[in-house]
Chains A and B, each alone.
Chain A
Amino acid sequence: MDKKTEIARAKGLHSTKPAPTAAAPIATPEALTTPPMPRAAPVPPPAPYAVQPPTGWWMYHGDPEHTGYVSDSTLTSADFKSGDGAQPFTTLFTLSLDGPVLSVPAVTDGFVYVGLANSQQAQGGNGGALHKIDIQTGQIVNTFNWDLGSDQRDAHSFAGMGCTPAVVNGRVYFGAFNGKFYCLDQETLDLVWVTDLRHADPAHNQPVTNTGGSTTIPTPPPAVIWSSPVVTADGASLYIGCGEGENDQLFSFVFCLDTATGDIKWLFCTNQFVKDQPNQPNVLPAAAVGISPLPSQFSASDIGPIIMGCSVWGAIAYDSELNRIYCSTGNQAPEPDAPPELPSPGYSNGIISLDATTGEFKAFFQVPKESNYRESDFDIDIGGASVVFKWKEGQPDEQKAVAFGCKNGSFFVLDADTLKHIVRQQLLPYHNDGKTWVATVDPHPADPNAINPSVSNDESNSTQGENFSGVFNTPALYPGSDDNPQTISARFFVGMGGPNYHNASPGIDYQSTPFMRAIDAVTLKDVWPMDDSDPRRYSKTSTFDPSINTEVGMYTTAGECGLSSPAVVNDVVFCTTSKIAIYAFDVRDGSLLWYDDLGMQTDGYNGGYGYCLGPAIWKNYVVAGALVFGREGGGILRIYGLTPQPSK
């Protein structure tokens, strides 16, 4: 059995019980309006389990392990090559949306589920929407909307949603920037239940009120949900993070919810109460207690916490074999006034492992100082999710592991049980002596408002600054294959670079840094062929496009970042960028197979960039949404696929 089949079979583990025979009662959206949140409808029956596992991109990064690998598709590199010059793979639909897309859509069962980070249709432009789109017609068939006040948006002024929904068992699950977690009916997008994770919600056994206001920020951001939900193998539980790392008066939590009712099963505060002493599940800071009396399942701590921040921004990964979840954490708050950032207190800048059933603390790993590209890097963050996989699969020393990238530029593989370090690789380039920084990589200008800063290594190394060139996303795993013309080793694809929407973060140094790295899953060394330049660059990842008389691909567009998470389908890896563009490369050697510009040169801040997040893949369809500065509505969604064949 080849490795692709093994992964497909592993996904089949989600099928355990019969399908439903009766639909659960559906609540109405009016239940959204009156806090405290009442239960929206009579308690629905427990969620039935699926007969067949969902297909395609049914949750963040395609599966609970977040591999980003799709095997139920026939799409291969051959579909991007044609003897007659015609491109079989093409744009099928372009949708102009009434708001930006700041999340990877979910795509399953023939429909796209995509949220808007802001909705122009909301009252006063403050609110969000989730669209259900027929992938074969490009038509919006259902929409779920929510309004909220202008004071409830997130730190970046978003009022909608920024996560990938989980679509399973006839339900659509997602969290929003209003701190609420929603469950909708998959068919109609009618509300089934909603649980408030920002304010105590007694009807759902939710005891936390997390509304502290910063003393240093005039408009302190409230607790929000950026994290994408992950659902357990039996479909009974889901996990979500809620917090806000930029407000030093807010706490951060991981919640386990009952998928049928929205009730809290357990919670874990990621702000450590006592140094060197693990937090216990269901213990919350006394300042965050929002109901009285506190249900017996929970208790309050008057001690600590020792540090704020430590918010879980990214999706939580789940491993059914070890029954663990893996939660990426952000920076401490407040940040230190001077370097070094690391080691930082508490559960900041690392990965926490918890028991999936009880929330019991299992292990924590914090990225070490020596893993920074520059020692002066701060606001480190693990922005993306971990990928659960088998390191050295098939070899005698095979072990279950988690892999993730960090904003400091390093990529890590840890033992999944202990979170002990296995291997690390800095993905930002050094000169070919292997130790000298590239001055234009991760620059830290003394003037924080410098536009397109280019400063010396000495200045960068002595000036504390955020690393906008590191890893902000979740890697995608190609599991390896021996059924191709040539054996292809297992490898990770990792986007490089972060936001470049303002003058302080002008994007990666495009002439030295690829917007996506291809690294061996065991050694973490580059696997695509490289040239002899200094620093070395991938040699096949760009090509001349005669239609526009221009070189396209990596190393061609100033500041172009791989902010989003790559996705792999068979022998093709897709990557979206801040250009805004989407690319397809051959997993073997990085040959550029295809690309499309979604919003190039839109005259936005700093040269016309935005975000494109995704793509998501279902069968032979590829979907990507974007936030586009300067575009009417601010958002766009494209559905790609094979050119429809004329009927005979």
Chain B
Amino acid sequence: MAVSFSNDIMPIFNQFRGQMMWRFDLTNYEHVKANAKTINNRLAHADIYGPMPPPPFDPLTPEQIQLFGQWIKDGCLP
């Protein structure tokens, strides 16, 4: 089954919503879709930008990062 924002992505991002509200709403489909490339780039380059999310949170797991990439490949379904 294709990865969807409401079922797969938003539940992961919801816990970080407050900390990211200065930038955009991580639980808003349109906001995340519009910035999907940027988010994916940050997640994929922890060696340059540092872990994401940064401390004191634990970074996303490789499986979660892969899921986000798959969501983009599937066409950013709502």
Residues of A bordering B, CB below 8 Å: 99-100, 117-118, 120, 123-126, 150-151, 153, 157-158, 217-219, 449, 451, 502-503, 603-606, 610, 627-635
Contacts and interface: CB of A to CB of B under 8 A. Distances in A.
Contacts of A634: 21-23
Contacts, number: 82
Contacts of B45: 218
Contacts of A633: 21
A500 B47 CA distance: 21
Contacts of B66: none
A118 B38 CA distance: 15
Interface SS of chain B:
loop
A125 B41 contact: no
Interface of A, helix, strand, loop or mixed by DSSP: loop
A120 B24 contact: yes
24 contacts: A117-B22, A118-B24, A124-B31, A124-B33, A125-B23, A125-B25, A125-B28, A125-B30, A150-B34, A150-B35, A150-B37, A157-B23, A219-B38, A449-B50, A449-B51, A449-B55, A605-B55, A606-B55, A610-B22, A627-B22, A629-B22, A631-B21, A632-B18, A632-B21
A125 B35 contact: yes
Contacts of A630: 18-19, 21
Interface string B45-64: 10010110011100000000
A615 to B, nearest CB: 20
Q: Name which of A100, A117, A449, A634 has the most chain B CB atoms within 10 A of its CB.
A: A634
A633 B30 CA distance: 16
Contacts of B18: 603, 629-632
B25 A120 contact: yes
Contacts of B37: 150-151
Nearest to B34: A124
A605 B54 contact: yes
Given A219-B41, A451-B55, A603-B18, A118 B33 contact: no
Contacts of A605: 19, 54-56
A126 B28 CA distance: 13
A254 to B, nearest CB: 29
Interface string B7-27: 000000000001101111100
A118 B20 CA distance: 11
Given A124-B31, A631-B18, 6 more contacts: A125-B30, A219-B41, A449-B51, A605-B19, A630-B18, A630-B19
B30 to A, nearest CB: 6
B55 to A, nearest CB: 5
Nearest to A102: B22
A158 B19 CA distance: 15
Contacts of A118: 22-24
Interface residues of B, number: 23
Nearest to A630: B18
A147 B21 CA distance: 17
Contacts of B38: 150-151, 153, 157, 219
A502 B55 CA distance: 8
A217 B30 CA distance: 26
A599 to B, nearest CB: 11
A354 B32 CA distance: 44
Given A150-B37, A605-B19, A630-B19, A125 B55 contact: no
A217 B41 CA distance: 11
B22 A628 contact: yes
Contacts of B34: 123-126, 150
A629 B41 CA distance: 22
Nearest to A119: B24
B25 to A, nearest CB: 6
Nearest to A604: B19
Nearest to A118: B23
Contacts of A120: 21, 24-25, 31
Nearest to A451: B55
A610 B25 CA distance: 17
Contacts of A635: 22
A493 B51 CA distance: 37
Nearest to B38: A150
A347 to B, nearest CB: 28
A635 B24 CA distance: 12
Nearest to B22: A634
A125 B19 contact: no
Contacts of A610: 22
B16 to A, nearest CB: 10
Contacts of B56: 451, 605-606
Contacts of B33: 124
Contact of A125 (B24, B48, B51, B54): B24
Nearest to A217: B48
Contacts of B35: 124-126, 150
Choose among B22, B28, B33 the residue with the greatest number of A CB atoms under 10 Å from its CB: B22
Nearest to A504: B50
Contacts of A502: 50, 54
A622 to B, nearest CB: 23
A240 to B, nearest CB: 25
A503 B54 CA distance: 8
Contacts of B31: 120, 124-125
B20 to A, nearest CB: 8
A242 B4 CA distance: 40
Contacts of A157: 23, 38
B30 A124 contact: yes
Nearest to A603: B18
Sorted nearest first, the 4 A-B pairs with minimum C-beta distance are A124-B34, A125-B24, A634-B22, A125-B31
Nearest to B33: A124
A218 B44 CA distance: 10
A505 to B, nearest CB: 12
Contacts of A123: 30, 34
A153 B45 CA distance: 18
B24 A126 contact: yes
A629 B23 CA distance: 10
A118 B31 CA distance: 12
Nearest to B48: A218
A100 B41 CA distance: 23
Contacts of A606: 55-56
Contacts of A628: 22
A631 B20 CA distance: 9
Contacts of B48: 217-218
Nearest to B30: A124
Contacts of B23: 118, 125, 157-158, 634
Nearest to B37: A150
